[in-house]
Amino acid sequence: MSPDADSPPDRPPLERARDGLGQVGEALTRNRIRIGLLIVILFASGVIAVGATGDGLSTASAADAPEAPQADNITVITESGRAGTLIAYNPDGSILYYADERTKYFDVDQVEGTTATVEYVATDTLHTSGPYCDSPPCARNVIERTNLTTGETEVIVERYNHQETAGEWHDHVRVNETRVLIADILYDRVYMLNTETGIIEWEWDAQADFDPADSGGSFMRDWTHLNDVSLLDDGRIMASLRNHDRVVFIDPKTGVQEDWTLGEENNYDILYEQHNPDYIPESAGGPAVVVADSENNRIKEFQREDGEWVQSWEWTSSEMRWPRDADRLPNGNTLITDTHGNRVIEVNPEGEVVWEVGSTLPYEAERLNTGVESQGGESAQRLGLESRTERGATSDDGGGGFDPLTGIGHFLEGLLPHRIVNGIYFVMPVWFGAPQFAAAGLGLFAGLGWLGAELRWQLRDAGVRFRLPVYRE
């Protein structure tokens, strides 16, 4: 059949020729766009594949874990990822102790009167249903004590939770030989457990002072996310209600001391889902609280002045992602876990990084024999610490040089709320850094752009086809 026979008789030949050329040109343009987008997607996939297969940071075994720089004392680091670890570094930077028997490790503290024994909370994830678990994942929480020199480990408390989400223990603190305070995320409370009898002897329930209807996260899912507890020398208890963006001070007899509360509902300028607040008493230049302001990607310190909390110090870096611990050391340095920055760092009073070791999803770090958490340190105000935002080359790019993908990654991160960025890094593997973030962003844009273009072309073609019966077949 000839084209003439199919075409309506009233269409001039010139117009038909122009249409034909137009279609050829259109097809060429479409294919060029397709090829261009394909190249972008292949490039992005390549960057991600290189990240996945590269010999990057790993703590999967004691042999894989990186060595640390020298330090004056043992450093203990916990990792809370799906393959969590507890790693202790000798002062010379070699590995003294390595454990990965538990699924995740959280707060760790040196045991008083020992030189190298620690007590910590850890969680086993129960992946299958059974007598302890109806709908997995569920959790078995433990408090354990380990002599890092001999490796001898003793289970002190073990408890099952019917869910793992908001069911882990992230902190405990020892009251005396037979009593511990537990930060209970599942039931939004702090309680004192007698470890000999197993009996709860005291508890503070967050509902005593907060209404689940108009505070914190979803009551049904993860209301307070109570992730840290401290016992102060004056007998008060300090607790971190992460989802309330608040640190509260609890009188064991009367409950929360409202005028002491640090942070406000939905006021993210003060705190945004913090971890590991440490109280620095008046005798050490406080009252002050040094805290990892996690979703704001910075470490902050607040000083008590005229009955109010005033921010007295801040440290952050362009590389910092979701820090979860900061300890003021006796020498004025601050030991920081940079969770999605995949590192534990120590910054000096001038704010310079003077010690750094790679770590995958670190939760907290302790430098032994410097006082538990910040107990051996002084306030930023007394030390005259200067706030600082560190900028510079990434720590993991092998040094020097501007890496455009890292730059694009940081730019894309800046377009999104911190919470979304930190959430993405939380679910992605450890090798997924800023370059991969950039590649994933570019790949996603290209993919969505391609989809949009194809849809548009199809619609356009469909529109043309609408008129087709008029002059075709």
- Write out the residues near Ca ion by the rule CB under 5 A: 107, 109, 228, 276, 325, 327, 364, 366, 373
Nearer to Ca ion, 78 or 243 (CB): 78
Shortest Å distance, C-beta 374 to Ca ion: 8
User: Regarding beta strands 343-347 and 353-358, do their DSSP bridges make them parallel or antiparallel, or are they unpaired?
Assistant: antiparallel
Residue 279 CB, shortest distance to Ca ion, in Å, is 10
- Closest to Ca ion by CB, 293 vs 373, is 373
Q: How far is the CB of 220 from Ca ion (least distance, A)?
A: 27
Of the two residues 107 and 314, which places its CB atom closer to Ca ion in the complex? 107
Closest CB to Ca ion among residues 81, 277: 277
Q: Which is nearer to Ca ion, 41 or 357 (CB)?
A: 357
What is the nearest approach in angstroms of Ca ion to the Cβ of residue 153? 17
Distance (Å, whole) CA 100 – CA 117? 17
Tokens representing 344? 């534990």
Instruction: Between 58 and 348, name the residue whose CB sits nearer to Ca ion.
Output: 348
Rounded distance, CA 429 to CA 444, Å?
18
Closest C-alpha among 163, 167, 203, 204 to residue 185:
167
Q: CB nearer to Ca ion: give 375 or 394.
A: 375
Report the nearest approach of Ca ion to the CB of residue 78 (Å).
Answer: 9
At its nearest, how many Å lie between Ca ion and the CB of residue 179?
18
State which residue, 57 or 77, has the beta carbon closest to Ca ion.
Answer: 77
CA angle at 366 for the pair 362 and 368, rounded to the nearest 5°: 150
Cα–Cα distance measured from residue 72 to residue 64, given in angstroms and rounded to the nearest whole number? 23
Cα–Cα dist 271/264, whole Å: 8
Nearest approach, Cβ of residue 344 and Ca ion (Å): 10
| Nearest Cα to Cα of residue 109 among 228, 255, 250 | 228
Q: Is the CB of 188 or the CB of 366 nearer to Ca ion? A: 366
Q: Are 392 and 407 in contact (CB under 8 A)?
A: no
Q: Give min distance, CB of 365 to Ca ion, in A.
A: 5
Q: What are phi and psi of 296, to 5 degrees?
A: -90, 5
Q: Give strand ranges (E) for 318-422.
A: 323-328, 334-338, 343-347, 353-358, 362-367, 388-390
- E strands in 318-394: 323-328, 334-338, 343-347, 353-358, 362-367, 388-390
- CB-based contact 238:247 (threshold 8 Å): yes
Contact between 207 and 188 under an 8 Å Cβ cutoff? The reply is yes
Judged by beta carbon, residue 319 or residue 366, the one nearer Ca ion is 366
Minimum CB–partner distance for residue 277 and Ca ion (Å): 8
What DSSP letter does each residue of 95-151 carry, written as one string?
EEEEE-SSSEEEEEEEPTT-SSEEEEEEEEEE-S-BTTBSSS-EEEEEEEEEETTT-
In whole angstroms, the minimum distance from the beta carbon of 242 to Ca ion comes to 12
Three-state secondary structure call for residue 159 = strand
Contacts with 233 (C-beta within 8 Å, 6 or more apart), sequence order? 281
330 neighbors 370 (Cβ within 8 angstroms): yes
